[in-house]
Amino acid sequence: MMNDWNGYRDTLLERVGDFAKQTPDVLRGLMTMEKAAEKTGHLDPRIHELIALAVAVTTRCDGCIAVHTRKAVEAGATLPEISEALGVAIALNAGAALTYSARVIETFQQLPKA
């Protein structure tokens, strides 16, 4: 096993609770944003969590991965669905790398000629 994600998630949520005691408005603000994203009900909770997982991967957030994997499964997501969402994240990361590679080429092309 690479990581103990259940233990990590539990410990993380404890530390988030500690942080919330220090700055409750910050956590309330985050929860307000999260609830606002769910409020319209246009997306099925399963789809919402699959998007959250794809974003968690692209932002490299272990805490988000731990929390939203569980939430996705609780919402009924299957491993094939999660894998497909992750495939989209991988493709977009590759696309972003390609886009930023084009910026490098453009930067190179704009350098003064020696």
Helices 24-39 & 5-22, crossing angle to 10 degrees?
Answer: 120
- Over residues 6-59, the pLDDT tens digits come to 999 999 999 999 999 999 999 999 999 989 988 889 999 999 999 999 999 999
Number of C-beta neighbours around residue 14 at 10 A: 10
- In the chain, the domains with their CATH numbers are 5-110 (1.20.1290.10)
Give 111's DSSP letter: S
Contact 8, 66 (CB under 8 A): yes
**52-108 pLDDT tens trace:** 999 999 999 999 999 999 999 999 999 999 999 999 999 999 999 999 999 999 999
Name the pTM for this structure: 0.83
